[in-house]
Amino acid sequence: MSRHAALTDRLAPTSYWWHRLHLSTQKFAVLLTLSAFAAGFGYVLLTNNTAALGFQIRDLQKNISHLQASNQKLQLQAADLRSLSLAQQAGQTLQLQPTDRVEYLPVATGTVAVK
């Protein structure tokens, strides 16, 4: 065997690993088609799941923003209730009656006039 023939045998073998499968061209075409369908279905399932997760994340973000807005409203209501409670306590301390008119003078004076 010449040196050129030995190199050719090593570089371009006459039998490849898939030749051992003894597949005809028709069987190979069927297997290739089936694997293409399987890959296509896998891709569709993967993208559908990814899209569904994206929609769930968007819905969760909406819920979070609604809860944050609701929380702010509740905090404002709690602050209003605290200020009303403090005003009621101040009224009891000053022994005011519900019929008394209370007028608040400008904030700079810090006084309350009762008529």
Higher-pLDDT residue of 16 and 48 is: 48
Match 């065997």 to its residue by tokens.
Answer: 1
- How far CA 66 is from CA of 45, 72, 81, in Å, comes to 32, 10, 22
Residue 90 lies in a domain: no
pLDDT of residue 24: 82
pLDDT of residue 69: 94
Residue 84 lies in a domain: no
Residue 89 lies in a domain: no
How high is the mean pLDDT of the chain?
80
Residue 38 lies in a domain: yes
Residue 113 pairs with which residues in a beta bridge?
Answer: 103
Residue 87 lies in a domain: no
Could you give the CA distance from residue 65 to residue 56 in angstroms, rounded to a whole number? 14
Residue 36 lies in a domain: yes
Higher-pLDDT residue of 60 and 89 is: 60
Residue 41 lies in a domain: yes
Count: domains in the chain: 1
Residue 28 lies in a domain: yes
pLDDT digits 0-9 by tens, 1-29 = 566 665 555 666 667 777 777 878 888 88
Range of the domain at 20: 16-53
Region of poorest pLDDT, from 26-40, 50-64, 98-112: 98-112
- pLDDT band at residue 38, thresholds of 50, 70 and 90? very high
pTM, rounded to two decimals: 0.45
